[in-house]
Amino acid sequence: MNRILIVDDDKDIRTLLSRFLEKEGYKTEQAGLCKEALELIKNDKFDLIVCDFKLPDDSGLDLVKKIKVVDHQCQIIMITGYSDVKIAVQAMKLGVYDYVTKPLYPDEFLQIVKESLDTKGLPKKIKRVPDKFVEGISNQSKQVLKHISLIAPTDMSVVILGETGTGKEYIARAIHDKSARKNGPFVTVDCGALPQELAGSELFGHVKGAFTGAIKDKQGSFEYANGGTLFLDEIGNLSYENQVKLLRVLQEKQIKRLGSNSQITVDVRVLTATNEDLAKSVREGNFREDLFYRFNEFTINLTPLRERKSDIMVYAQHFLNMANRSLGKEVSGFHPKVSKRLQDYYWHGNLRELKNVVKRAVLLCAEREIIEEHLPEEIVNPIYLAAGIEPDTGSADAANLKSISEIAERQAILDILEKTGNNKTMTANILKIHRKTLYNKLKAYNIEL
């Protein structure tokens, strides 16, 4: 029986979720504070943790970081009372399985719980990647396809650059599938969700007794990928020590498990991905220059989804077909108004966000096609959180000067809060407004910290 920990300061919500999940056959525990949750996690084993984003003694994001240190394979679903795509993207980068906004729809939430438990233990090894690679129709997508065809037959190392959710893993898988190694393993490691103290064991393996908790020998990802391809996502998150070890493996094609003196020969093609500027990290001394050039034999740049609008409905239809199969539905397509909403939206989370939006819409849809009421509020009534984005001047609200001014003011406040680490006094001083005025604006713009 799967065990689930529910972390929320609202006792009523904890109780309702607990009863609902236990009715579905799960065993649950509850915690109202981060420190209570961490004590339970240290003393017991949970398959899934459902935590609120906002907790009295810490933020949900900080709790996620601490959970991953204690049990980096535990699945986490984050719930929140308001929608902020930037926070959702940050949560995903920390290793959260999914990010769900309140109110919770029982069928949707249960589906996410089941899927998170179905994939438990897979992300650090061989991930479930759909076997069908969908080709976009934009000029940018066609250029990427040309690069894949060019580089795949070689054994060159490739760096895939792109924002979170742009499909970097799909590109890596496409390179592997078109290479001479296609019959070998394709192994992925998300370095961004991997605690630094466990990265060496994850990559190179360990022997029994190598460190506290090493109760048996373990193969690392390089051994799993022998004869195939190893995909290292968010490579910029590796510690300097592990960068040194990784460079040695690439040069010598041999690994040494932690705690062992024996060398193991491996034949692995390494593909890497990042949403950071690695060249800048090299200049700042945060990433080894020799490792960077070892990786960077060829670069593929992935354009954000918002900059290739002709691809949006191609992928939306693909995700709809996937959701139909997964949920046992027969939704045929999208209402024209929905198609326009999807094409006009900013897509901070790119393809990953689009996939989640479409799947949720299919789950809620009882008609033949998806209509606007099946879309999240932030898509139907978008708040432009990204600097430089132009509102839709075709709508009455966007054409209103006050509305446009408020959008710009809200974004300015968010930008300064981010730079000051949510320090309200410092933010007010930089904005040259009274602290009480800042509080009023935070409330008016529904900005929760």
Q: What is the Rg, in whole angstroms, of the alpha carbon atoms belonging to the chain?
A: 23
Tens-digit pLDDT string for the chain (449 aa): 889 999 998 888 889 899 999 999 999 999 999 999 998 988 888 999 999 988 888 888 888 888 877 777 789 999 877 656 667 767 777 778 888 877 787 877 888 898 888 765 543 333 444 446 788 999 999 999 999 999 999 999 999 999 888 999 999 999 999 999 999 999 988 887 777 777 888 899 888 888 776 778 888 899 999 999 999 998 988 888 889 989 999 999 999 998 988 999 999 999 999 988 888 889 988 899 999 999 889 999 999 998 999 999 999 999 999 999 888 899 999 999 999 999 989 898 899 899 989 999 999 998 899 999 999 888 887 754 443 344 444 444 444 455 556 667 777 888 788 777 788 888 888 887 887 788 878 877 778 76
Structural domains of the chain, with CATH: 3-118 (3.40.50.2300), 139-301 (3.40.50.300), 305-380 (1.10.8.60), 396-444 (1.10.10)
Predicted confidence at residue 396, as pLDDT, reads: 40
Predicted confidence at residue 362, as pLDDT, reads: 94
Between helix 336-344 and helix 312-327 the angle, nearest 10°, is: 120
The answer to whether 333 and 369 have CB atoms below 8 angstroms apart is yes
Q: How far apart are CA 259 and CA 229, in angstroms?
A: 25
